[in-house]
Amino acid sequence: MNVLIFLGAPGSGKGTVAEILAGTVDGFRTVSSGALLRDAVKSRTEAGVAAEATIARGELVPDQLIAAMIGDYLKGLPDDSSMIALDGFPRTVAQAEMLESILAANKARLLQAAFLDVPRDVLLFRLSGRRLCPKCGAGYHISTLPPKVAGMCDTCNVELITRADDQPATIENRLKVYQQQTVPLKAFYEDKGLLTRFDAAGEAGDVARAIAGDLSKWRTAQA
């Protein structure tokens, strides 16, 4: 299994770009640590209940908790040459170290860490306009990806919500946590020769195409 890490601030488009790649590149899967946690909260698992308040404050859940969830997820995947994008994990240097053991245990190799670089004003614009369908999970943006009827999901016709952690005060906190705890990962992967920066201020489709264009190069380099 080939692993691609998506590194970037909240709102940098990691999830959107990874979903586009999963829809366009054969054998490409993606898993979002945030989505795994939100599912756990929704289904009231022990981990979900333990993580709920931390997520709502925009802080990071304990390294062990999320590493165990990602480890379990990867264990369930076929042992083949397909590609899996990790969207939102690792987010601390401790998690990056835990990932190394997870990869070894699953006979998986790390191809690259793709760093999606977006200026702060663009991040704030994206995060504050983000809306979510509570039923099907579809994402919208009030200016750039509005639903057909304001405030309603196109598919489910239920009212869209703002994620608790997309409230203005929490957005500030998430960006601060990102600076303090996740930015050091850039140097961590750069030192290993495994970091590629992508300008991600524009369209997600362009970023996905740029990453898709580098996949075979990374596969060859890590073979």
- Known catalytic residues are 14, 91, 130, 163, 174
- Residue whose C-beta lies closest to ligand AMP: 34
Q: How far is the CB of 165 from ligand AMP (least distance, A)?
A: 5
Residues 8, 13, 48, 88: which binds ligand AMP (CB under 6 A)?
A: 88
Phi, psi values for residue 155, rounded to 5°: -90, -45
Name which of residues 165 to 184 contact ligand AMP (CB under 6 A): 165, 174
Query: In this structure, are strands 2-8 and 83-87 parallel, antiparallel, or unpaired?
Result: parallel
Contact 190/199 with Cβ under 8 angstroms?
Answer: no
Which is nearer to ligand AMP, 48 or 90 (by Cβ)?
90
6 near ligand AMP, rule: CB under 6 A: no
Binding string to ligand AMP for residues 148 to 167, with x set by CB under 6 A, is what?
-----------------x--
Strands (E), the chain: 2-8, 28-32, 83-87, 109-117, 130-132, 139-141, 195-199
Which is nearer to ligand AMP, 96 or 208 (by Cβ)?
96
Residues 12, 16, 33, 196: which binds ligand AMP (CB under 6 A)?
A: 33
Residues 3, 37, 98, 99: which binds ligand AMP (CB under 6 A)?
A: 37
- DSSP-derived 3-state class of residue 22: helix
CA distances 59 to 29, 48, 63, 151, 219, Å, are: 26, 14, 12, 27, 34
Tell me how far apart the alpha carbons of residues 164 and 169 are, in angstroms, rounded to a whole number: 10
Which is nearer to ligand AMP, 19 or 165 (by Cβ)?
165
86 near ligand AMP, rule: CB under 6 A: no
Find the part of the chain contacting ligand AMP (CB under 6 A) among 32-40, 98-106, 114-122, 213-221.
32-40
Pull the structure tokens for residue 142.
């009030």
Q: How far is the CB of 222 from ligand AMP (least distance, A)?
A: 23
Full DSSP string of 167-200: SHHHHHHHHHHIIIIITHHHHHHHHTT-EEEEE-
Identify which of 56, 1, 6, 30 has the alpha carbon closest to the alpha carbon of residue 182: 6
Beta bridge partners of 130: 141
13 near ligand AMP, rule: CB under 6 A: no
- Chain residues that interact with ligand AMP, rule: CB under 6 A: 10, 32-34, 37, 54-55, 58-61, 66, 88-91, 95, 165, 174
